[in-house]
Amino acid sequence: MQTQRETPCIRCGRERVFKRKWQEVIGKGSVITHVETVCPDSSCQAIVDAELATRREKRLLLENKGKAIKLS
């Protein structure tokens, strides 16, 4: 089992804090434990969430564009 590492916020550099933890069962009983951490500054976390959503949206657009090219 891996130990939890301390990670800095990608925007302000503050030490991120624990938000929630959950487990997911995959395949034939393999268990994955997810740990979500957030910036202690809620306004900074909101900006980070918006930036990540923008990046995710751009990535999905590029993936879909690539799929459309392959189908043509």
Phi, psi of 31 (to 5 degrees): -110, 130
Q: What pLDDT, on the 0 to 100 scale, is given for residue 2?
A: 53
Q: What pLDDT, on the 0 to 100 scale, is given for residue 71?
A: 62
Q: What pLDDT, on the 0 to 100 scale, is given for residue 65?
A: 84
Domain ranges of the chain: 17-71
Per-residue pLDDT of the chain (72 residues; tens, 9 = 90+): 455 678 999 999 999 999 999 999 999 989 999 999 999 999 999 999 999 999 999 999 999 887 777 665
Residue pair 24/32 in contact by the 8 Å Cβ criterion: yes
Angle at 62 between CA 56 and CA 63, to 5 degrees: 85
Structure tokens at 55: 């990046």
Q: What pLDDT, on the 0 to 100 scale, is given for residue 1?
A: 47
| Residue at 55: amino acid letter | R
Q: What pLDDT, on the 0 to 100 scale, is given for residue 21?
A: 96
